[in-house]
Amino acid sequence: MDFRYSPEDEAFRKEVRDWIKENLPESWATEQEALGISEDSFQMALEWQKRLYKRGWVGLTWPKEYGGGGGTLMQQVILSEEMAKARAPGIANTLGVGMAGPTILSFGTEEQKKQFIPKILSGEEIWCQGFSEPDAGSDLANLKARAIRDGDYYVVNGQKVWSTFAQYGDRCLLLVRTDPDVLPKHRGITYLLMDMKTPGIEVKPLKQMTGDSEFNEMFLDNVRVPVSNRLGEENRGWYVAMGTLAFERAGMGQAIMFKQVLNEIFRLAAKTKRNGIPAIKDSTIRQRLAQCAIECEIMRLNSYRSLSTSLKGGGPGPEEMFSKLFWSEMNQRMTELAAQILGIDSVIEGEGEAQLWQYRFLRSRGNTLEQGSSEILRNVIGERVLGIPR
Amino acid sequence: MDFRYSPEDEAFRKEVRDWIKENLPESWATEQEALGISEDSFQMALEWQKRLYKRGWVGLTWPKEYGGGGGTLMQQVILSEEMAKARAPGIANTLGVGMAGPTILSFGTEEQKKQFIPKILSGEEIWCQGFSEPDAGSDLANLKARAIRDGDYYVVNGQKVWSTFAQYGDRCLLLVRTDPDVLPKHRGITYLLMDMKTPGIEVKPLKQMTGDSEFNEMFLDNVRVPVSNRLGEENRGWYVAMGTLAFERAGMGQAIMFKQVLNEIFRLAAKTKRNGIPAIKDSTIRQRLAQCAIECEIMRLNSYRSLSTSLKGGGPGPEEMFSKLFWSEMNQRMTELAAQILGIDSVIEGEGEAQLWQYRFLRSRGNTLEQGSSEILRNVIGERVLGIPR
Amino acid sequence: MEFTLNEEQQMLKGIARDFLENRCPKAHVRDMLTDEKGYSPELWQDMAELGWQGLMLPEEYGGTGGDFVDMVVLIEEMGRALLPGPFIPTVVYGGVAILQAGTSEKKNELLPRIAQGELSLTLALQESSERFDAEGVAAEAVEKEDHYILSGTKILVPYAHVADYILCVCRSRSSSDAEDGISLFLVDAEGEGISCITRTTFDGRKLCDVKLGEVKVSKANLLGEPHGCWPLVKRLVDHGSVAMCAEAIGGAQMAMEMSISYAKERIQFGRPIGTNQAIKHKCANMFVDVECGRSIMYWAAWAVDEGVPEASLAVPMAKSWCCDTYRRVAADSIQVHGGIGFTWDHDIPLYFKRAKTLEYTFGDCDYQREIVVRELERQLASG
Amino acid sequence: MEFTLNEEQQMLKGIARDFLENRCPKAHVRDMLTDEKGYSPELWQDMAELGWQGLMLPEEYGGTGGDFVDMVVLIEEMGRALLPGPFIPTVVYGGVAILQAGTSEKKNELLPRIAQGELSLTLALQESSERFDAEGVAAEAVEKEDHYILSGTKILVPYAHVADYILCVCRSRSSSDAEDGISLFLVDAEGEGISCITRTTFDGRKLCDVKLGEVKVSKANLLGEPHGCWPLVKRLVDHGSVAMCAEAIGGAQMAMEMSISYAKERIQFGRPIGTNQAIKHKCANMFVDVECGRSIMYWAAWAVDEGVPEASLAVPMAKSWCCDTYRRVAADSIQVHGGIGFTWDHDIPLYFKRAKTLEYTFGDCDYQREIVVRELERQLASG
């Protein structure tokens, strides 16, 4: 057991730091979150992605032949760590790089890889997704958006919800039903890569309780998707989709981001009075601060364990199975603590720091719902990891 | 809404207080709990029951014709309150008065009432129960102890567990299977009143994690129970049993008992140092003390609500549906708090106050299991009270 | 011993529910989120016609002579409907203060107008110290001939921007005992020297910073004894806290009912989601918490109304339990509803936000628990 | 970057599990509940033959030269088996203290005997003040020619009744800084003036009150610098705390495995009880908590072993999380098992009781969290 980084790793880290110092405008470090979900925020993310892409640091571990960086996993981790420490903005093509790319690299044809991967990395084509439907949330296999084969095309009709970033999307990861009769239902699902400019697609933003719109409803009316844009075989889309979800791991960068949020809460507790005394002098606040700090540290260590297992070529370790379950509930506790420290100021509309905490607090309620609710994730752990029957 | 007692009630209260002052030896107030589950403790309870019986205060609300007191519900509540305040010992025939009597009064024949009720009240016949079996715990309807009709007798074979006070029992509330084939299974169950002196009964104490034995295993080998001792119809015992469980309400006396335990914890916190300072100066301990105090008070108020509804002749109110769920989990929090205040002293074997808290702490773990586990009770609330499907 | 709603209370509850379902649907609540006043004067007038503003006032002042428990029955329904507006400030702070401490002239002048829905009042207590006790009162009242001059800044004053009168808690005399020297003034909100900055909570309520810049107030506008008003102020806060408990329980009840319905109706994996214990047990816990909250809330209401000593424990206990409950129930309701419960257009987030605002008003649940322990220590010490 | 067990560690783990399943079954654990010594000297000897007491000692002293992480791998298995006895006091307190601060004479004299299983040691730190910091140390050591005279009373000294040597933490010099003036003495447990009262915890461990009645200790038996031993004592406590975390995680792991098995096997209502989310999700939570505990426990072990500054945060974090986890997992295991899990003869209560004892040793989880915040405040203040 050894938690030290090798000299090569540290050299790469310095390279990253130096580059960030030169390329990341100082104000960007905090500006993006303040901008919320907006066109301005998206444009900043796009510009940042372009700069990173030029340096070869989008898709750092992806094959060079498709525009990737050809780097090591360790380098990728260091890159994420440093980006998080510098509070760099996110990239624009979150879903493209986080989900579409890895999925196409795993399941796509050579043509598909050549066609899509480079533009994912450069940000030329922004990806969104269309998985859930009104009656297919936790029960995703129940999806009904129907695709009927018509020559070299699938003709798709149906409705999607919770389509992340569909308002900015050029292309879409789409799950459709190609066999309506088969049981179990997940055997009749096909995975398509849909061009968002195809006629018949209508996107309606879905306003969240925060007031922002990250998600959308998407209505599909006789949308024609070429069969060549099918990923994997017909009716085998479920297996591709399950592969996709495996790429949604929380990484080291996220752990560091939480640690920074924690430090902000500490500073908030030091400067905010609660019932007449600084919040940080209050034992019950201190207990909660400590608990959040412990959980943040555990998240970091779990990421190290995953990394260490991956570096040795092992499959996902136990700690990866609950990473999202863990941080989503932790984040609710953290943002609730910040709100409690601020007290009534956290519920008043306005501007400035209190407003940011208000946003984070409200937004965190979605964490335990999106990408598998906590209830579903506990089922998965109980059934798939611990082997308890359904 | 009015939380005051009427002058008549207050007069009765004074009568009870005066009587207790004359009839309850001072040392008894604390001695019984210190004696634990033992023959001495049982004999004290029996003596106490006899004194109360002589005064007409066992079964205060039961009809006079069977030896009851013919009093009002309000008087019964006041009696319980005062007994709890004086820390009077429990009576010996807990199960007889708490469960057997009310069940026989509701479902028994005139002969059964005349035969059993007076001796329940006087303590001449101590009752125990035989419901659960190794494979019928939460799933009580799955019970298998088989009773086969043989003339005027049922011949019973099988095994029971968690038989409360079977070691002292003269008579037993017994659930047996008379129809092994019927579905749903609960339609083949019969309710018997078994004489514990019948040949073929073997009782083995079941040692709990506290070291005490409140419960027993009971082995039945060709035990002959007269058909005249059947309660209700053959194969209809389930409905009688469900009626029985309804009598297991937590009452006002219990609420007061918890309030006294709470006060003890307060005193404990005041005199016990924790990390160098009195525990009561520690904010996190204070928060927990407050939460326990609030819960104790809620339990008292819920009892008042039940009482008020009953006085008006109404059925059980919503608060009765979760009384046991509520206090069992509250008691775990309370005893865990006391243990935490004592710290390491609470885990060391010895004598005195710490030992009593250790016992209470360990014993409380059984609260969420006995008489319907918390999981089962939440199901019942969800399904029967809220109408959510199974 | 009587711990059930009487017939009149049940009738009041029924009427209130029908009226508010009709007149205060969620569309109205949403409209008020961005409304400058934050409430509908028309609805206010119609409530007055139902006798709501006068519910606790004696008949001689145009009221119906109910008690605080009746009021709490009504407020529970307002919480269920998320009714916005200055009802509690006007009726519970203003009405109770004038009724309990006003001169007969003030009573005759103001109470009938409250009952008729002509007046809106509020209470200005808190200051930048963000304390809830007497030590937090720094705003000064200096005696001068037949009047006082008030100066200082009050914060978080509910609906001061639409108030006709503001009850101002000021320090009129310095003393080693912080609770001594507190006076309560009935201040004309239009009076000279008063300025008001209005802030909106995320559930659409209005909280104002009220600046008292040398405001001249006649001695006739003193409420209660000069310098000795802290007990009255505390009583007002107790009334207000219990009113908030009622709002919380009413709101939690509604969020729970919505969750239970959704648990029965929403089908996933071929069966209602409520068949899963993760959902079913959440609903069961909501039920337990809400019913327990109802028990302690009504107990506190009765104790405050009767002015019995038990009130000093009942109020912080109720505030802590009911606000914890509302927060937990609303959060779990989002979880039961899944993604749809996280959207702007769904009603559950309105309850979730309201729960937070109530929780932080007059001290959060930790604070209330600390008060509970202090009071219990005092009681145990005095035997 | 390497956060997995290496091959040797995995082998050690496997051997330990097999050996302990065989030699320390629950029947042995139960026998020891009422045993006067509280452990089996025979088993102790066999463990020494496996090299366990010498695991962390250099080869020159008869050890195998492992590190503290290796030791923690072993102790995790001991926690799983609920092995009673003075292993941690002897090996972690005694062994580490002598290795880090002993003179070469003492090392040569004692370490080989530890490795061979000939010696049992313990640490006497706490006193009636029930504090865990230097201010709690009141026992005095008065210098006199070539020796010190020790007086005072130490409490909660593990297995002092069977110890050959007791490491006594005493105040040898008064100072305004409580951490200054602390010395550590290696005291012959049979020495004149020492008396020992043995108490038994409900999980069968022995904790002794050790009275130091003018005990004469030669200067040769000083460990480390006189007056400057608090950092060493703290290091010993850190090692001990992490060892307890390992015990906790090993025990919690076993309680969890038993619960999962029971959830799969126990049939009620015609199906395994684990099909109910109330049970399934409890098991899932156990799994998350235990795995997280393992992550932070190994991190703390590495940090303590390396002596890096991160240890000051890692240790209280690990102690708090691991002990919380053990308590929760054991309590939930009783609940999963139902009535049978509440009986004396079932193994789960043994884990439940062990969890409580570990929780309260060296400060409960609240205390650890308070230390975490203090340390974080210090770090943030110093940038």
pLDDT, tens digit (0-9, with 9 covering 90-100), for C215-252: 999 999 999 999 999 999 999 999 999 999 999 999 99
In tens, the pLDDT along C25-56 reads 999 999 999 999 999 999 999 999 999 999 99
Residues, chain A: 390
Determine how many CB atoms are found less than 10 A away from the CB of residue D17.
15
**Residue A248: what pLDDT?**
52
Q: Which segment of A39-43, B233-237, C101-105 scores lowest on mean pLDDT?
A: A39-43
Tell me the per-residue pLDDT of A59-68, one tens digit each, with 9 for 90 and over.
Answer: 999 999 999 9
In tens, the pLDDT along A79-90 reads: 998 998 898 988
pLDDT, tens digit (0-9, with 9 covering 90-100), for D206-222: 999 999 999 999 999 99
Model pLDDT for residues A371-385, shown as the tens digit of each residue:
889 999 999 999 999
What are the catalytic residues of B?
248
Region A138-153: mean pLDDT is 96
Residues in B 238-297 with any Cβ partner in C closer than 8 A: 263, 266-267, 280, 283, 286-287, 289-291, 293-294, 297
Let me know whether A169 and A198 are in one domain.
yes
The catalytic residue among A39, A65, A233, A248 is: A248
Q: Under a CB-based contact definition with an 8 Å cutoff, are residues A369 and C338 in contact? A: yes
B314 has a pLDDT exceeding 90: no
φ, ψ dihedrals at A195, nearest 5°: -75, 125
A150-199, pLDDT tens digit by residue?
999 999 999 999 998 888 899 999 999 999 999 999 999 999 999 999 99
Calculate mean pLDDT across residues C198-218: 97
- The reported pLDDT for the residue numbered B352 is 83
Judge whether C145 and C212 are in contact, CB under 8 Å. no
CA pair distance D206, B180, nearest whole angstrom: 53
**Are residues C195 and C150 in contact, defined by beta-carbon separation less than 8 angstroms?**
no
CA of residue A191 relative to chain centroid, distance: 20
B371 in the same domain as B270: yes
* Model pLDDT, residue C186: 97
Residues B106-159: tens digit of each pLDDT = 999 999 999 999 999 999 999 999 999 999 998 999 999 999 999 999 999 999
**% of chain D residues with pLDDT over 90:** 97
Provide ipTM, 2 decimals.
0.96
Q: Do residues A104 and A47 touch, judged by C-beta distance below 8 A?
A: no
Please answer yes or no on whether D4 and A294 come within 8 Å at the CB atom. Answer: no
Q: Please give the structure tokens belonging to residue B342.
A: 């004592």
Span A319-348, pLDDT tens digits:
778 999 999 999 999 999 999 999 999 999
Whether B240 maps to a domain, the answer reads no
Average pLDDT over residues C112-136: 94
At residue D85's C-alpha, the angle toward residues D77 and D202, to 5°, is 95
pLDDT at C102: 96
Same domain, B255 and B366: yes
- Kindly state whether residue A97 falls inside one of the protein's structural domains: no
Asked if C250 and C16 count as a contact pair (C-beta separation under 8 A), the reply is no
Kindly state whether residue A182 falls inside one of the protein's structural domains. yes
Q: Give whole-number Cα distances, D280 to A191, B135, B170, D145, D333, in Å.
A: 32, 20, 41, 67, 12
Whether B209 is in a domain gets the answer yes
Q: What is the mean pLDDT of residues D320-348?
A: 97
Query: Which D residues in the span 102-121 are in contact with A, Cβ-Cβ below 8 Å?
Result: none
Task: Give the CATH number for residue A65.
Answer: 1.10.540.10
pLDDT at D360: 95
> CA-to-CA distance for A46 and C323, rounded, in angstroms?
44
Tell me: the pLDDT tens digits for D87-137? 999 999 999 999 999 999 999 999 999 999 999 999 999 999 888 899 999
CB < 8 Å from A in window 271-290 of C: 273, 276, 278-279
DSSP per residue, B316-380: --GGGGGHHHHHHHHHHHHHHHHHHHHGGGGGB--SSHHHHHHHHHHHHHHHTTTTS-HHHHHHH
Could you give the C-alpha distances from B70 to A378, B9, B18, B63, in angstroms and in order?
55, 15, 21, 5
Burial of C307 (0-12, 13-18, 19+ CB in 10 A): exposed
CATH of domain D231-381: 1.20.140.10
Which residue in D136, D267, D338 is closest to B373 by CB distance? D338
A310 and A211 within one domain = no
- Is A385 within 8 Å of chain D by CB? yes
Does the domain at residues D122-226 carry the CATH identifier 2.40.110.10?
yes
Identify whether residues B372 and B261 lie together within a single domain.
yes
Q: Which percentage of chain B shows pLDDT scores above 70? A: 98
* Residue C82 token pair: 């998320």
Residue C383 predicted with pLDDT over 80:
no
Whether B284 and A283 lie within 8 Å, measured CB to CB: yes
Beta carbons of D361 and B344 less than 8 Å apart: yes
Note whether A211 and A287 are same-domain residues. no
Q: Report the neighbours of D using a cutoff of 3 or more CB pairs below 8 angstroms.
A: A, B, C
Compare CB distances from C131 to A139, A275, A344 and report the shortest one's residue: A275
Tell me the chain B residues in contact with residue C283 when contact means C-beta distances shorter than 8 Å: 382, 386, 388
Mean pLDDT of A238-247: 76
Same domain, B54 and B79: yes
As a whole number of Å, the end-to-end CA separation of chain B is 37
Beta strands in D111-146 (DSSP E): 121-124, 140-144
Q: For C254-269, what is each residue's pLDDT tens digit? A: 999 999 999 999 999 9
**What is the 8-class DSSP label of residue C156?**
E
Across the interface, whether the CB atoms of C281 and D276 are under 8 A apart is answered no
Contact D170, D152 (CB under 8 A): yes
Query: Contact A135/C267, CB-based, under 8 Å?
Result: yes
Mean pLDDT value of segment B366-379: 94
Considering chain D, what is the average pLDDT of its residues? Answer: 97
What does the CA dihedral A218, A222, A224, A225 come to, rounded to 10 degrees?
40
Q: Which residues does chain C have within 8 Å of residue D277's beta carbon, measured at their own beta carbons?
A: 276-278, 281
pLDDT in the model for residue A35: 75
User: Which residues of A are less than 8 Å from C363 in CB distance?
Assistant: 275
pLDDT at A247 over 70: no
Identify all chain B residues contacting D268, using CB atoms and an 8 Å cutoff. Answer: 137-139, 142
Put simply, the answer to whether A344 touches C129 (Cβ < 8 Å) is no
Q: Which residue of B has its CA nearest to C5?
A: B1
* Residue D312: per-residue pLDDT: 96
Chain D residue with CA closest to A375: the answer is D281
- Are residues B282 and A283, on separate chains, in Cβ contact within 8 Å? yes
Write the CATH number for A210: 2.40.110.10
Mean pLDDT of chain A: 92
Question: What would the pLDDT profile of C280-333 be if each residue is shown by its tens digit?
Answer: 999 999 999 999 999 999 999 999 999 999 999 999 999 999 999 999 999 999
Residue D283: the pLDDT is: 98
Does the beta-carbon distance from A344 to C334 stay under 8 Å?
no
Q: Rounded to a whole number, what is the distance in Å from the CA of B287 to chain A's nearest CA? A: 8
Cβ C278–D276 below 8 Å, yes or no?
Answer: no
> Chain A contacts of C156, Cβ < 8 Å?
344
Handedness of CA D63, D64, D68, D70 (dihedral sign): negative
- Chain B, nearest residue to A286 by Cα: B284
- Per-residue model confidence (pLDDT) at position B246: 56
Contact status, residue C200 vs residue C208, Cβ threshold 8 Å: no
Q: Do B287 and A282 touch (CB under 8 A)?
A: no
- Strands of C87-205 (E only): list them: 121-124, 140-144, 147-158, 165-171, 182-188, 194-200
Residue A96 · residue A125 · CB < 8 Å: yes
Per-residue pLDDT tens over the stretch A351-371: 888 999 999 999 999 999 998
Are residues C339 and A161, on separate chains, in Cβ contact within 8 Å? yes
Between D132, D207, D366, which is nearest B348 by CB? D207
Residue C12 CB coordination number (10 Å): 23
d(CA A305, CA A312): 11
My answer on whether A264 and A220 are in the same domain is no
> What token pair was written down for B85?
């305040």
Searching chain A, which residue's CA lies closest to the CA of residue D256?
A: A386
Instruction: Please give the pLDDT value at position A193.
Output: 98
Q: Determine the residue of chain C that is closest to A216 in CA distance.
A: C343
pLDDT (tens digit per residue) in B64-104:
999 999 999 889 989 998 998 898 988 999 899 989 999 99
Supply the range of the domain harboring residue B195.
Answer: 127-235
Whole-number pLDDT of residue A254: 86
Name the more confident of C194 and A256.
Answer: C194
For residue B274, being part of any structural domain is answered with yes
Quote the pLDDT of residue B249.
53
Same domain as B279, residue B204: no
Boundary residue ending a domain (B200, B235, B270): B235
Listed in sequence order, the residues at least 6 apart from D266 whose beta carbon sits closer than 8 Å to its beta carbon are D272, D273, D274, D338
Tell me how many domains chain A contains: 3
In this predicted structure, the answer to whether residue B275 has a pLDDT above a threshold of 90 is no
Q: Give the one of C1, C295, C296 whose C-beta lies nearest to B5's C-beta.
A: C1
Region B269-273: what's the mean pLDDT?
A: 94
Neighbours of C84 (CB within 10 A): 26
Q: Is residue B28 part of a domain?
A: yes
Query: Taking all residues of chain C, what is their mean pLDDT, rounded to a whole number?
Result: 97
pLDDT at A244: 67
**Nearest CA-CA distance, residue A316 and chain B, Å:** 33
H-helix or E-strand spanning residue C22: helix C7-23
- Taking a C-beta distance cutoff of 8 angstroms, is the pair A178, A150 a contact? no
CATH architecture of D7-119: Orthogonal Bundle (1.10)
Please give the Cα distance from A301 to B353 (Å, whole number).
43
Residue partners of C76: CB distance under 8 A and separation at least 6: C13, C246, C247, C249, C250, C253
Q: Identify whether B110 is part of a domain.
A: no
Instruction: Tell whether A197 and A288 lie within a shared domain.
Output: no
Domain ranges in chain D? 7-119, 122-226, 231-381
Which pair of tokens denotes residue A62? 């992806």
Is the Cβ of C200 closer than 8 Å to some Cβ of chain A?
Answer: yes
pTM, 2 dp: 0.96
